[in-house]
Amino acid sequence: MSTQIPFDNSYARLPAQFFTRQPATPVAAPRLIVFNHDLAAQMGITPGDEADLAQIFSGNQTPDGAEPLAQAYAGHQFGGFSPQLGDGRALLLGEVVRPDTGQRLDIQLKGSGPTPYSRMGDGRAWLGPVLREYLLCEAMHALGVPTTRALAAVSTGQPILREAGPLPGAILTRVAASHIRVGTFEYFAARRDTQALQALFDYTCARHYPGASDPVMLLDAVIARQAELVAHWHAIGFIHGVMNTDNTTLSGETIDYGPAAFMDAYHPVTVYSSIDRNGRYAYDNQSRVIVWNLAQLASALVPLMPDQDEAIEIFTNQINAMPDRLLAARALRMGAKLGLDMADPGDQGLVDMLLKMMQDHGADFTNTFRALAETGDAPDLRAAQDYGAWSARWQQRLQARPMARAQMLAANPAFIARNHRVEQMISAATQGDFAPFHRLLQVLQRPYDSQPDAADLQAPPQPHEVVQATFCGT
C-alpha cells in the first residue's frame, strides 16, 4: 500500500516571490530510521510500508498532491541583517489539515538538497543533526512546549562532506504550524514590496490569528505567544542557541534545534552554541533577545500602517511593555516549579534565593527542582549556608497550598535530553547502532513520569562526559 497524505496547500497559492518551486534532489539508497505513527494518525496520513515511506520522506518520490517549494525569507543573524536567506536545504512539501482539530500543518523535508537559497552549500544534512532535532523536538512536545514536530528520519545511503570528513547523510521530515518567520516579514519589508508584505500579513492572520484585523493586533498576539514560549524555555533550562529572527516563528513555536541544549549545572550565562562566541543567546539573555527580535517584526510592519509616525509610536510602546510581560510569564512558570502561585510578596525572593544557591554550588537545574518536587529536599544544596533558612520559609509557604506537590511534579520533569546522552546517541548511530536513539526517544516521551529503569538517563554528566559546545547542523 502506498502512503496517502491528504494535502491541502495554501502557501503555494501566494505570489511567486514568496518561494521557488522545485523537487528534492534524489538520494542513493534511502532507508527509514524512524516514523512517527502517532503524529501521522493525527494528521490523517495513511502510511505505506517502510520502503514507501523511505522513498517519500527522502524526496525520491513526490507524493500525490505535494507542491515542493523552498521558501524565501531574510533575517538578523547575531544582530547582523542578511536580506536573503531562505530554505537553503529544505523544501515545503505541502500542508495538511488535522481532521480532529482543523489545524493546518506544514510538512517540510530538511536536508533534501540544494535550492536557490543554498549560498554555495550542498543542501544536505548529516545523520547527527537529524537525530538531534528529531529527539529534541519530540522531547519538547512531551514537555508541553510549543514546538515543531518530527514525522520521519531517513538515511540517504550516501556520505556528505564536512570539515570532519565524510559523514552519513540523512533527511528529517519536520511538521510545523507554519514556517512563517519574523525574517519572512523582513524579507519583503527590506525590498519595499508592500503588496507582498500585505499578502503575507493577510495570510498570517488568517492562518494563526483570525481575530487580528491590523498590524497592531498581530504584533500584540505574537508578543503574547513568544513571551510565554521563552518563559517556558527558562523554566525547563532550555537554551535555543541561535535565536536569529529567521528562527522566530509567527506561530510561537520553537524551531531549529541545531545548537540547542538543556542546562546541566545552573548558571544564568550558560552558552553551548559553538558560534555564539559573545553569549548573545545565553540562557538568561533569551528574554532580552526575543524583545529585540520582535522589535524587528514591528519595524517590518510599519509600512502596512496608514500613519507611519503614529505606527512607530504605537509599536514602540508595545515593545517597551514586552519585558514586563516576559517577567510575569517567567515568574508564574518558575513559581509553579516550587508550588507557588506568586501571590505572596516573598515568593519571588524564594525563587531568586534558590537560583542563587544553585549557581553558587553548581547544582543540576533539572534534578534539583525534581528532588524538591518528589521529597521536599535538595541534597545538592544542603551544604549551602542559607539552605536551611530557605527551606523553612518555603515549607511554611507550602502549608497554605495543599495541591503544591502535584503542581510541582507537573512542572518539573524527571528527564530531559541531556547533552552527553544526545552525543552518545549520535556516536552510536553513526556506527549503525540506533538502539540508544530509540531508548532515549521512548523515555523522553514521558518526561514527568518516574521511570526507574531509566535512572541512568537522569544523571548529570561525569567530568569526562561534559559537552562544552553544540553545533549547527549545516
Catalytic residue annotation: 246
CB proximity list for 78: less than 8 A, separation 6 or greater: 244, 275, 276, 280
Q: What single letter denotes the amino acid at residue 206?
A: A
Question: What is the C-alpha to C-alpha distance for residues 470 and 260, in angstroms, rounded to an integer?
Answer: 7
| Residue 82, C-beta contacts closer than 8 angstroms, at least 6 positions apart | 74, 75, 76
| Listed residue (167, 91, 88, 175) closest to 134, CA to CA | 175
Q: How many CB atoms lie within 10 A of CB 396?
A: 9
Report which of 216, 248, 192, 244 is spatially closest to residue 316, judged by C-alpha positions: 216
- What does the alpha-carbon distance between residue 425 and residue 438 come to, in Å, rounded to a whole number? 9
| CA 119/CA 85 separation, integer angstroms | 8
SS3 assignment, position 70: strand
Map residue 108 onto helix, strand or coil.
strand
Q: And the C-alpha cell for 403?
A: 495541591
Task: Give the residues across from 69 on adjacent strands.
Answer: 21, 92
Rg over alpha carbons for the chain, rounded to the nearest Å, is 23
SS3 state of residue 71: strand
Is residue 73 within 8 Å of residue 115, measured between CB atoms? no
